[in-house]
A and B are shown apart, each in its own frame.
Chain A
Amino acid sequence: MQNGVRMRRRRTMFVALLASLAWYAPAAAQDVGLELGSVPDAVQVEDLEGNVISMSEYIGKKPVLIQFWATWCPLCEALEPKFRAVKRQYGDTLDIVIVAVGVNQTPRSIRRYLERHELPGRVLFDSRGRATRAFRAPTTSYVVALDRAGRVVYTGVGSDQNLAAAAAQAVGSR
């Protein structure tokens, strides 16, 4: 029996996952993701109907805030009023794009969420993680602000982000 136990132990692998609740604490801007001044690749994502959408529709066209988002992300929900305030202030002079990540959600569950929540921007689905990799998104709630030339002027994560300042940077940058 002991040999049997040892045999099982020898065949067992370990997967160590170093995680932290603290990771979800608000982080300072500019210490995550893309470098300031860089221009992200215009990868393809999908809309909620499965149509292919190129991020080139939003990169280098006008100032834009892009958030990596999920229905299960409480920090994203906490940011919703801030996004609505930015939309009220800037209207059509600034785009807001919500990139729904392709982990633990589907277009169907996203649509159900949107029936109860007003998000002030287009929601796209990153089913294969292309945008997540292109924007070096470390986690949900990650926000990238691009100026009208498509250059990164702000990155940040967490619910304490100053989106008004990020939007002002995106709009004001020449």
Chain B
Amino acid sequence: MHAYRDQYAQIFNNGQHVVLIAISADPIGELQAWARDDHFQFLMASDSDVAVGRAYGALAGRPGVTNRNLFVVGPDGRIAFRAVPFREIDPTAYEELGEAVKQLLPPN
């Protein structure tokens, strides 16, 4: 999660025309503390009944555990890019994500 925070400007255009939502099965209080302690500048959402996780195919086969799946939804509401699972410790995965986001940004 720190990689998203630290590369927020490069990957997510510093939040201009991009909304990043980290969705987790963890309770909202834990997410709130996590975001506060680690200074996350993006949204976090609690999916305590894992309804979103199930819909996005993120259940890991163990109760209460989700994979790190990532979807980029374009302004038209369609999925433009997906990483299932997102290779969170592979630097090239962040480059691919940044390129996918860049493709959807409005022209300057």
- Across the interface, A18 reaches (CB within 8 A) one of B18, B56, B75, namely B56
CA distance A82 to B17 in the complex (A): 47
Q: Does B37 contact A (CB under 8 A)?
A: no
Besides A132-B87, A139-B88, A140-B89, 13 more A-B contacts (Cβ < 8 Å) are: A11-B106, A12-B19, A13-B17, A14-B20, A15-B101, A17-B21, A17-B70, A20-B24, A102-B91, A103-B94, A104-B3, A127-B91, A129-B92
Is there contact, CB below 8 Å, between B89 and A17?
Answer: no
Residue of B nearest to A140 (CB): B89
Closest beta carbon of chain A to B18's beta carbon, Å: 6
Q: How far is the CB of A77 from chain B (nearest CB, A)?
A: 15
Chain B's interface: helix, strand, loop or mixed, by majority? mixed
Chain A, residue nearest B74 (CB): A13
B10 to chain A, nearest CB (A): 13
CB interface residues, A 1-41, toward B, < 8 Å: 8, 10-23, 25, 27, 31
A: residues with CB less than 8 A from B are: 8, 10-23, 25, 27, 31, 68, 70, 72, 101-104, 127-129, 132-133, 137-140
Check A20 against B66 for contact (C-beta < 8 Å).
Answer: yes
> Once the chains bind, are B24 and A21 in contact (CB under 8 Å)?
yes
Other-chain residue from B18, B24, B85 in contact with A15 (beta carbon distance below 8 A)? B18
| Known contacts A13-B101, A16-B23: A129-B91 contact under CB 8 Å | yes
Contact of B26 among A22, A27, A128 (CB under 8 A): A22
- The answer on a CB contact under 8 Å between B75 and A132 is no
B: contact size bracket: 35 or more
11 A-B contact pairs sorted by A residue (CB < 8 Å): A13-B18, A15-B101, A17-B4, A17-B22, A19-B1, A19-B24, A21-B34, A23-B68, A132-B89, A138-B85, A139-B88
Known: A13-B73, A13-B75, A23-B66. A18 touches B94 (CB 8 A): no
Q: How far is the CA of A14 from the CA of B53 in the complex (A)?
A: 16
Contact present for B22 and A19 (CB under 8 Å):
yes
A17 to B70, CA, bound (A): 5
Question: Using Cβ atoms and an 8 Å threshold, which residues of chain B touch A133?
Answer: 87, 90
Which of B19, B64, B86 meets A22, CB within 8 Å?
B64
The smallest beta-carbon distance between B76 and chain A, in angstroms, is: 8
**Contact (Cβ within 8 A) B69 A21:** no
A68 to B52, CA, bound (A): 30
